Structure 1
């Protein structure tokens, strides 16, 4: 459990060190890749849907900046 907690804290520290734009792009890329992977596992590749989800999350995370304290 401590190894998992240590990994989480490293990842959390890395994401907090990113700029607002970089964080938004990383979030969008993660959404795009996840959408494509799940679609591939279900046998439906929806590139337009994946692009839309990734783009939408990138814009929302850039505008709203959820990491702001």
Structure 2
């Protein structure tokens, strides 16, 4: 027979167990999100890197007066 959980600690354990069970199996999703984010950073850096480098060099030359 299933008895209802009446104590606060019992309800907290049940809620914690349900929360932990909901998060299982989501690891591949987080790995995919991490890899896609890293890929986007590399792509944006490859496209914008030379322009940002040129902009930085131009700013330094103007400030230093060389």
TM-score, structure 2 as length reference: 0.36
Higher RCO by CA contacts (8 Å cutoff, separation 6 or greater): 1
Max Rg structure: 2
TM-score, structure 1 as length reference: 0.35
